[in-house]
Amino acid sequence: MELPERVTLIEVGPRDGLQNEKNFIPTKNKIEFISLLKNAGFQEMELTSYVSPKWVPQMQDAETVVENCLDDARNFVLAPNKKGIELATESGVKHVAVFVGVSNTFNQKNINKTTEESMNELRPLIENLKRKGYFVRACISTSFYCPFEGRIDENDVLKVCQDFEEMGVDELSVADTIGMANPRDSYELFTLLKHHLRATTLLTAHFHDTRGMAIANIFASMQAGIDRFDTSAGGLGGCPFAPGASGNVASEDVVYMLSQMGISTGIHMDKLLAAVAYISPLLSKPVSSKQFSLLKNVSQHQ
Ligand code: HMG
Ligand code: MG
């Protein structure tokens, strides 16, 4: 088996995890959640997003979250357009994450533009960020399946990735937005991308766990050479504009699998579970990750 010795987990719970929450989570609780996650060892994290508060009310406190959470780590803030990138850079962020869907229909529902319109808007903005020394991550949604258009052609994913590479992005986070990919899809797409993309571009896989396939997809992607995964504490998450998308793969379940396989992540499991325990009473749904459920069952029987 070809497996990495070390894997980097990018914690996306504070952004992808919380963006879909019905009830507004008070800003001070978001800040404490982020602090607990940092304490668990995450060196890379999506903190929040600069998006329209009308479209995603949960992220309306982005500025305050950023003000309180920036440190020397790789703190990503999502921004889909010119206004979002301006707000991010004004707030002192050094790591910007743009996002685009390979599927036109999804992109329109998510950011009110076709994929091509988004790419054309982002090109000069990304080039400008790179000239100024920012780290740019590009999140690529619906890379396997789209809730509106069905199966996505892998060459269309490759084309979006290559266009981003030409703009100078540092990282591509390739996403199974609605959790429909299977391990064979994952192995094949990441093998193709690894083969055609530059070795210097960081390639990250982002799996949602709608159908319970995410952990198997991570295993398959590692065999295609991927050693970076977006994960979400408690398995929170989902995109409000992708019907059928449930949470991201749970960070604690991935940490468990990798540590059992002798692959290091640098994440401290007890501290990660403490962060999940902190946020869970504030959520509208119970946390369903395997590791957190085990912990709860054990403490109920003690
Ligand atoms: P629009 O209505 O076409 O935008 O929305 P607009 O340019 O006409 O502006 C409308 C209003 O929004 C204006 O305010 C703008 O100032 C404001 P008003 O004059 O009405 O008061 N506005 C903004 N405010 C804050 N930040 C901004 C911004 N831009 C405009 N950046 C827009 C277009 C992109 C704004 C909207 O569609 C939007 O906010 N979409 C957000 C979608 C989103 O956050 N989706 C979830 C994240 S993606 C995801 O989860 C997938 C991922 O996890 C990977 C995967 O799993 O696939 C990354
Ligand atoms: Mg996502």
Q: What CATH number should be reported for the domain holding residue 261? A: 3.20.20.70
Q: Atom 35, ligand 1: which residue's CA is nearest?
A: 52
**Which stretch of DSSP H or E encloses residue 102?**
none
Catalytic residue among 69, 139, 161, 239: 239
**Total-model pTM:** 0.97
Contact 275, 11 (CB under 8 A): no
Q: CA-CA distance, 258 to 254, in Å (whole number)?
A: 6
Mean pLDDT of 10-38: 96
Q: Which two tokens stand for residue 277?
A: 């325990």
Q: Over the chain, what is the mean pLDDT?
A: 96
Residues with CB under 6 A from ligand 1: 16, 19, 49-52, 55-56, 79-81, 83-84, 87, 99, 110-112, 139, 141, 175, 177, 206, 208, 239, 241
Cα–Cα distance for residue pair 270/87, rounded to 1 Å: 35
For ligand 1, atom 17, the nearest C-alpha belongs to: 52
| Inside any domain, residue 125 | yes
- Confidence band, pLDDT 50/70/90 cuts, at residue 301: low
HEC states along 241-269?
CCCCCCCECEHHHHHHHHHHCCCECCCCH
Centre of ligand 2 to C-alpha 228, Å, is 15
Instruction: Determine which residue's CA is closest to atom 46 belonging to ligand 1.
Output: 239
Q: Does a structural domain hold residue 1?
A: no
Question: Do the domain assignments include residue 263?
Answer: yes
Q: pLDDT (tens digit, 9 = 90+) per residue, 79-104?
A: 999 999 999 999 999 999 999 999 99
Look at residue 211 in the predicted model and tell me its pLDDT: 94
Residue 29 maps to a domain:
yes
Q: Is residue 275 part of a domain?
A: yes
> Are the beta carbons of 10 and 46 closer than 8 angstroms?
yes
In the chain, % of residues over pLDDT 90: 91
139 in active site:
no
pLDDT at 242: 83
Tell me whether residue 114 is in a domain. yes
C-alpha distances out from residue 267 to 18, 44, 115, 223, Å: 21, 11, 36, 22
Lowest-confidence region among 17-21, 129-133, 150-154: 17-21
Q: What is the pLDDT of residue 244?
A: 74
Both tokens of residue 13?
Answer: 């719970």
- Would you place residue 35 in the very low, low, confident or very high pLDDT band (cuts 50, 70, 90)? very high
Q: pLDDT tens digits, residue range 183-226?
A: 999 999 999 999 999 999 999 999 999 999 999 999 999 999 99
Q: Which atom of ligand 1 is nearest to the CA of 80?
A: 34
Residues 6+ apart with CB under 8 A from 203: 171, 172, 174, 190, 193, 194, 197, 226, 228
User: Hey, whose CA ends up nearest to atom 31 of ligand 1?
Assistant: 84
Question: Quick one: pLDDT at residue 302?
Answer: 62
Q: What is the pLDDT of residue 297?
A: 75
Q: pLDDT grade, residue 233 (50/70/90)?
A: very high
Element (H, E) at 226: none
From the alpha carbon of 83, which atom of ligand 1 is closest?
31
Per-residue confidence (pLDDT) for residue 243, from 0 to 100: 83
Residue 145, both tokens: 């399946």
The answer to whether residue 165 sits within a structural domain is yes
Number of structural domains (the chain) is 1
The verdict on residue 295 lying in a domain is yes
Is-contact 238 20, C-beta < 8 A? yes
Cβ–Cβ < 8 Å for 86, 98: no
Residue 173 lies in domain: 8-300
The pLDDT of residue 130? 98
